[in-house]
A = this chain, B = another copy of it.
């Protein structure tokens, strides 16, 4: 479904929203330890999210990652598309180069609904709302 990179990204973001009370920045080390994922690999992923302004970061002592006001509108769909690419949830399920409602692959109609439902669910998960306790 999702790549490992993407799973780590989602888990890290959820972890960050759960640590909201502690108003300090969260370091990669802490996250990697808590989530039990490889630290350097997670660092790359967080940097990618940060570079695309989905989360925020500060360098130096007491630095780390945090969720800014502007990041509040970011959704889980944004996270997924940033890490796995837009095609991950939109390209043909059978890998056909051209597949849409007019030129559908044999399974197009059977899976279009659940794919769209998935995207709807992901796009309804805003980081800002997750900070307030409600996940989706």
Which residues of chain A have a CB within 8 Å of any CB of chain B? Answer: 1-2, 4, 7, 10-11, 14, 93-95, 106-107, 110-111, 114, 117-118, 121, 125, 135-136
Contact = CB atoms under 8 A, between A and B. Distances in A.
Contacts of A4: 95
Nearest to A117: B114
A10 B107 contact: yes
- Ranked nearest first, the 5 interchain pairs of A and B with the lowest CB-CB distance are A7-B95, A7-B94, A114-B114, A14-B106, A110-B136
Given A1-B1, A7-B93, 19 more contacts: A1-B93, A2-B93, A2-B94, A4-B95, A7-B94, A7-B95, A10-B107, A11-B106, A14-B106, A106-B135, A110-B121, A110-B125, A110-B136, A111-B118, A111-B121, A114-B114, A114-B117, A114-B118, A114-B121
A94 B11 contact: yes
A77 to B, nearest CB: 13
